[in-house]
Structure 1
């Protein structure tokens, strides 16, 4: 009887101690992020928490998991534990799966190669990307992910979002567009995306290109020159030269009729919506106006006046040497087969 009594008392005291220790403030001096790898068992999780000073007694953690019957509810992930978190609170965080979320914003107008580069530079993502996705197949937006997400998973997610959104936009497009497929919509949207970063101009710029396609005029868009020269690298690193304008590439819309064979970037939702339902007007030309936007024109005569105004703005901004050396595509060719609708990188907001 004495031994039984001692045992009961000892068990009661041990239970009281364990309960108090379970909810007591822990040893963590300040909040800390701890990553629990996929596939970790109870013992591995407890060891990780103790090693990172989140809890002081791994046996207490393991015992509580078994007593509460939550051994199948523990989730892997990266968790942020607050200062002096108790063992009970730490266990609740892991059971609820409150993993740290990261955000990655992919700006509109990046090429697939540039997007892959950003994913490879991200130190939270893991794994390799099998191949650079085809141009225009990724949707630029802000993506949320947790530590342990692979780079290929991010690519797959961007592809799925683009496929789903493109089908929705294609289904509600204007029916009289000179565009034969959803792929052609993305091609033109990528040009619109590179031509203007202003939300209030996208539909109007899209309308200019639609008008030119309807009249079988060449698009003569500067960004297509750049893509034809550098491809997926995206930027030329210098002003467009006369040689660039005259260089025949599959993408140079100064030299080819109609649309390029593929998109020249990954357009965002707004650019695709603009092409699907462009502004209705008679404009055939546009040029930078010095304010970050563009001056539009219906006639070549009006456009040339706008170009002259832009050149004057350039002269006032730059040194005489810079103006003399710059051979932008805003300068009309001496004898163009088709009048040009174009702008310059200097006239667009920096992305």
Structure 2
């Protein structure tokens, strides 16, 4: 009898071990397999949260099939105590293993709320955006112009949340003065800027920032980015350009930036100025005259007067020969590249064509005809 009992117990033990091993294999497979999430979601981890709370919420949201298994998997891989506060994008079909990695690896938030400080040429604003996980696109929720409008209520909570992302976006063609003035309005930054950066040395781009970053640090990043862009473009420049230095290339790029907002025109506009420099013709471009008046401190807000076109300033290319002494704005990557790789044309004239672009010409007669056409368009627009 005792032999029978022992045999049965051994059999039961073997069955239990077999089932236990199968259960472990099932758990491992379930932990690593494609998850049930049909569409990406944004998971916000509050400071002080724990894996138990997160697992329950993930199960409720349909991101994991079994919250307990999710938590046990995090325990087994020693990641249960490594949760990072923030907002994180969890893609559709993410496995439990992938989700644990996303929520514990750290780094900046990858979704949720974002405050963007947009520095524009004629208008700067602060924008509140929210990432739509389904489309992976940001949706604008609110905006205001600092100094002229009150901050909307919608900004109050996001500006105090530790997982809110912040970024500064510089439009191509803004001046250094405009950038610095707007950086002063960014309340999450600290410190002062000792001196105005040289015109043209700040790269128009989007920069992620963190509360507590200093303004000087952000400016240094912008300067380094522009220097890298200029170095690369200068290294790849075409032969035969009438430009003797990277500084001259930056000056020309800034003029191109201010002369056209049509991306496809940049290399043609560049060719006009390159051809004029080669032929010893004056550049005769209005944006340089405007810079001579404003020094980049704000927008002129009106048309140029004849006296201003004739007035002598170091930047008035109707009066001076060659390039002005400094850039007139901060040019973007495309304009820098256009200055150093212009289109091969014989154009030496261009004028607005009424479509937002320009009409180009090789001869004065062609140019005069284009100007006459533009005057008719201006007259028609004035009558409307």
Q: TM-score, normalised by structure 2?
A: 0.60
Tell me, which stretches of 5 or more residues in structure 1 are unaligned? 1-30, 35-44, 50-67, 83-88, 321-351
Which of residues 200, 214, 217 in structure 2 aligns to 1:136? 200
- Cα distance in 2 between the residues matched to 1:156 and 1:242: 40
Change (3 A) 1:108 1:70: same
Q: CA RMSD in A?
A: 3.1
Deviations 1:215-236 (A, max 9, x none): 0000000000000011021421
Residue aligning to 1:232:
296
Unaligned runs of 5+ in 2: 1-42, 50-77, 90-98, 110-162
Question: Which position in structure 2 is the counterpart of 1:96?
Answer: 106
Q: Distance in 1 between matches of 2:79 and 2:207?
A: 35
CA distance in 2 between counterparts of 1:175 and 1:201 reads 21
> Of 369, 372, 375, which residue of structure 2 is paired with 1:308?
372
Q: 1:194 aligns with which of 258, 272, 292?
A: 258
Aligned residue-pair number: 255
Normalized per residue, the structure richer in strand is 2
CA distance in 2, matches of 1:296, 1:235: 27
Shift of 1:154: 0.9
Which residue is equivalent to 1:250? Answer: 314
TM-score w.r.t. the length of structure 1 is 0.65
Shift of 1:33: 9.5
Check the 8 A contact 1:226/1:234 in 2, yes or no.
no
Match of 1:273 in 2: 337
For residues 349 and 365 of structure 2, what CA distance do their matches in structure 1 show?
10
Map 1:289-300 → 2, pairs under 5 A? 289-300=353-364
SS of the residue 1:251 aligns to: coil
CA shift at 1:125, angstroms? Answer: 2.2
SS at match of 1:133: coil
SS at match of 1:127: coil
Specify the SS of the correspondent of 1:259.
coil
1:106 aligned residue: 170
Q: CA deviation at 1:248?
A: 0.3
Does the CA contact (< 8 Å) of 2:79 and 2:104 recur in 1? Answer: no
The answer for the alignment partner of 2:120 in structure 1 is: none
Higher RCO (Cα < 8 Å, 6 or more apart): 1
Contact 1:194–1:223 under 8 Å retained in 2: yes
Give 1:1-351 correspondences, 5 Å limit: 79-80=86-87, 96-99=106-109, 100=163, 101-319=165-383
Q: What is the rounded CA distance, in whole Å, between the counterparts of 2:287 and 2:45 in structure 1?
A: 44
Compute the displacement of 1:102 (Å).
2.0
